[in-house]
Structure 1
Amino acid sequence: MSQFTETTQVGFFARLKNAIKGIGLGISLVGIAVYFLFWNEGNAVRTARALSEGAAQVVSVDSAVLDPQNEARLLHINGPLALAMPLADVALGVIAPAQTVRLERKVEQFAWIEEKQTKTDTKLGGSQEKTTQYTYHLDWTDAPASGAEFRIPDGHMNPPMPIASKVSLACRFPYLQRTRQWRQLPQERFEYASPSQMFLTSC
């Protein structure tokens, strides 16, 4: 871990100028917020009305029966998922269990992380002294910064990640992107193979 401290001074008139700018920006933001508040309320009413109408018209059908009379109607279908090929991660040689519809690869890197703490002291005459302490330490993260944007990049550069996190979904079920609840499978249920032995299904 390493630390670096930086101190800057802001005069009274500079503070006054910044305060006036902040007041003007605040008034503008209030006007914008009021506009979006009314817009959001109207949109919520329209959405609630559409959901109510849809709930009154939806029809539950058997997923195994294709009825032409249901063409262009709002349907509710309940049935088992069926996948021709299992999901696979070619880069890592991982094959998911049969009928798995979502496969997530989560990658983390042991990288430099920058944290900063700022303390402001008001001096006689209205000026301010701002002290910022930058701390650098190594830790695991799934989104490492390159280090070029750090206050002290020297000695704290991170190499690019050789492989990125990725989520694969069964291509026949695009609505799965909106699903938020998933069950994690134990590691022993997965199969492993070399990349040359892997196969992929095309969407």
Structure 2
Amino acid sequence: MVAPKTTTSLLKEERKARRIRKRKAEIVSAAKSVFLTEEYKDVTMERLARAADISKATLYLYFKTKSDIYHDLLVSDLQLLIDDIVGAEDEALSAPQVLMAKAWKYADFFQSHTEYFSRLSFYYYPGRAERLAEDVAREIERLIVVALRSIEATIARGTAAGELRSLNPWATAVALWALWEGAAQAAATGRTVRFDLELRKIVEAGMSAMIKGIRKTNRI
């Protein structure tokens, strides 16, 4: 029988795990500037080690390949967006108010992370020549579904409260996500500038029209 771990050993393991997470986060943060300024195919582990101010041997203790670092970058940043959208839920607010709050969280993420609509991607490697590995794509899809389920739950709550019409909550959640993503793409490709519009104006107009269409009462 294996003896149970002592409190001291468990604390040591937790401290070690925290140090590893912190170090990996520092490496990923340093690597992001490299991926944003250099061609992905030209980036090497040696270059990433220099950016993180560590030796290549040390870098290999945390990541085996540059794609591993890129994957961690995608997932960690996307997690910020998902946490913001899920965290916007507030039962003290009406469902339409919460949906608008979630929309602003998406718009705010775009404005602070425009690179995901210009240089980086949650679906392809930079250059769009190759899709992400299946396991990474599945994790990204899982995170997005978490956000969509949060939106779906808000819509279902609004329907139950008599604030929204009876409709398909999941389909409506996906439609809202498509609206936000489309607005962000329009801003990333410069169409908002050509149309003399700001991203938040597009989101506000789109959400107002959408909420008016699904609202059962005049409450917002």
- TM-score category of the 2 structures, normalised to the smaller one: under 0.3
Give the alignment's TM-score, normalised by structure 1.
Answer: 0.24
Please state which structure has a larger fraction of its residues in helix.
2
The structure with higher relative contact order (CA 8 Å, sep 6+) is: 1
**Structure number with higher strand proportion:** 1
Q: TM-score, normalised by structure 2?
A: 0.22
Larger radius of gyration, structure 1 or 2?
1
